[in-house]
Structure 1
Amino acid sequence: MRDHGPVTSSTSGPRPPAPTAPAPRLIATDLDGTLLHDDKTVSPRTVAALAAAEEAGIEVFFVTGRPARWMDVVSDHLHGHGLAICGNGAAVVDLHGGPGNHRFVTIRELAVPDALDVVQVLRAAAPGTSFAVERTGGLHHEPTYPPLHLDQGECVAPAEKLLSADFEGGAVAEQPVLKLLAYHPELGPDAFLALARTAAGDLASITRSSPSALLEISGRAVSKASTLALCCAERGISPAEVVAFGDMPNDMEMLTWAGASYAMGNAHPDVLAAATGVTASNNEDGVARVIESILAAR
């Protein structure tokens, strides 16, 4: 277990980085349950903190499990930070064009043979599992997959058909697979994650960010952390110069990789153990509090 800074509350601020730590050059923040309030808004305090960070020369990256088409929640608050890591590391996206006009900069796809193997293994290990396929062009799902998302699937068919090369005349198959989603109606979220990692963890990266038993399955070695590491390497930024924020298991690799990391006060217990510090909850502007402390220390 990592040594944590103090838990903050609505009346206390986060501890700023130690004086010997490198000055942060990049802030990497999750969205849902972290930067966003529960009503999916960005508070004025957080908007101001992000703008102040960039004015101070600190780059901001949104790092989320959301697909690019769901990034309109932050489209009004981009300022200079127009790049986002979406789909748990499956894509780096330029959001500057606005909702519906985003541009994929990097795609780290889930290989179709691996996706098919995962479907086969999980059907056997957890009968009753239903699947959805997230491609660059949208979501496609099985008939039994529940309406968990903000948009409707474009195509409905068994996962094996959705992943076939000739589906929809091959037009859909031309779009890279960003991730596979697996839902179980009876298993607990953590139990389903543990089962899936045991059964299929050698085939893909498996994580979760939903309060339900919904797993997010990416290509081998694809995670928020590994894609963030690639983006930082391009900029000559070391892990020690990164401050990261998150609240769910899909954030854990990123929080462990970053030199300084904060779990939200509302975070999953495993995330609290992975971070170097804890800040206030998302509804209490925990990210903004840390940014303000960092800027004050400078």
Structure 2
Amino acid sequence: MGTVTLAPVLPTTRPRLIATDLDGTLLRDDKSVSDRTVAALAAAEEAGIEVFFVTGRPARWMGVVSDHVHGHGLAICANGAAVVDLHRGRRVVSVRELPTATALAVVKELRTATPEVNFAVERTGGIHYEPLYPQFHLDPGAMVAPVEELLSEDSEYADEPVLKLLAHHAELAPDAFLELARTVAGHHAEFTRSSPSALLEISGPGVSKASTLALCCERRGIAPGEVVAFGDMPNDLEMLTWAGTSYAMANAHPDVLAATTHRTASNEEDGVAAVIERLLGLPPAA
């Protein structure tokens, strides 16, 4: 690993695309977008730099940016499983689904390794839960049932592609749970985490923020070296190592800090905006 830079250091040429995570990165802890950040993103787009929000959030939770930042084009949601058009009512324009047979194989492996695990299923139309899964964001119409029923071909939601499987453990430490899951079931699917709790996010083989961002960039003729990326949690790691220039937030997970050579201020201190201002030669906002 190269020498870590504590202050924002700029790429040698102006990027063509900025890819930023949301929670813990672009958003402040209260889930707001600061006026400084709104102004910086608008200035980037005015300068011809595309902005992609790249998040673990589903499309229906994107109002936090599409309503307040006027919808900066496309967003990559559900850790790469969906591309969403923020200009058209958060419409899902492409999906990289998790096959139900793969999800069921993961359920079997994890339940064998640690029977206390509980699951939720994120589909294009909403999320559905097992009875003991902590329902922090219970959407209207959510189905509550054993995960095998949630994934059944006979489910009333079976026509909606599965974006990701979520697994929660009430006792294991978050990183220990991730390591265990990758060990016993990593050959089936992609495992990552972005929550402070022991909550894993499971995507189809090869699906990640990085791989979907790479596809979007390829279609635009944008090379990795023309991308600047920002993140803070393990689900950002592949994206940060793929991009030509990447910044870990000061509040980032230790693995993210170890994997990146550039750092910026925390999400509470508008670290993304600080880098964009310097990229554009703008004076720092007061």
Matches within 5 A, 1:252-271: 252-271=237-256
For 2:25 and 2:138, how far apart are their aligned partners in 1?
19
Q: Which runs of 5+ in 1 are unaligned?
A: 9-13
Flag the 1:2–1:209 CA change in 2: closer, same or farther, 3 A: farther
The C-alpha deviation readout for 1:50-109, integer Å capped at 9, x for no partner, is: 000011110000000000000000013444622100000000000113xxx321111000
**TM-score (normalised: structure 2):** 0.95
| Aligned partner (choices 251, 257, 261) of residue 272 of structure 1 | 257
Q: Aligned to 1:33, what secondary structure does the other structure show?
A: helix
Shift of residue 291 of structure 1?
A: 0.5
The question of 1:88 aligning with 2:79 is answered yes
| Aligned partner (choices 198, 207, 227) of residue 183 of structure 2 | 198
The C-alpha deviation readout for 1:248-271, integer Å capped at 9, x for no partner, is: 000000000000000000000000
Q: Aligned to 2:18, what secondary structure does the other structure show?
A: strand
Q: Aligned to 2:44, what secondary structure does the other structure show?
A: helix
Corresponding residue of 2:14: 23
Corresponding residue of 1:11: none
Number of aligned positions between the proteins: 282
Aligned-residue sequence identity (percent) comes to 73
Asked if the contact 2:130/2:147 (under 8 Å) is kept, the reply is yes
For 2:138 and 2:34, how far apart are their aligned partners in 1?
21
Shift of residue 149 of structure 1?
A: 2.8
Corresponding residue of 1:165: 153
Asked if the contact 2:38/2:69 (under 8 Å) is kept, the reply is no
For 1:113 and 1:215, how far apart are their aligned partners in 2?
18
Flag the 1:143–1:206 CA change in 2: closer, same or farther, 3 A: same
Matches within 5 A, 1:162-241: 162-168=150-156, 172-241=157-226
Flag the 1:184–1:2 CA change in 2: closer, same or farther, 3 A: farther
Shift of residue 274 of structure 1?
A: 1.5
Corresponding residue of 1:119: 107
The question of 1:154 aligning with 2:142 is answered yes
Asked if the contact 1:2/1:273 (under 8 Å) is kept, the reply is no
Corresponding residue of 1:251: 236
Corresponding residue of 1:290: 275
Asked if the contact 1:139/1:152 (under 8 Å) is kept, the reply is no
**TM-score (normalised: structure 1):** 0.92
Asked if the contact 1:141/1:153 (under 8 Å) is kept, the reply is no
Match for 2:108: what amino acid?
A: Q
CA RMSD of aligned residues (A): 1.4
Shift of residue 153 of structure 1?
A: 6.4
Which of structure 1's runs of 4+ aligned residues deviate more than 6 A? none
| Aligned partner (choices 10, 27, 42) of residue 51 of structure 1 | 42
Q: Aligned to 1:174, what secondary structure does the other structure show?
A: coil
Corresponding residue of 2:119: 131
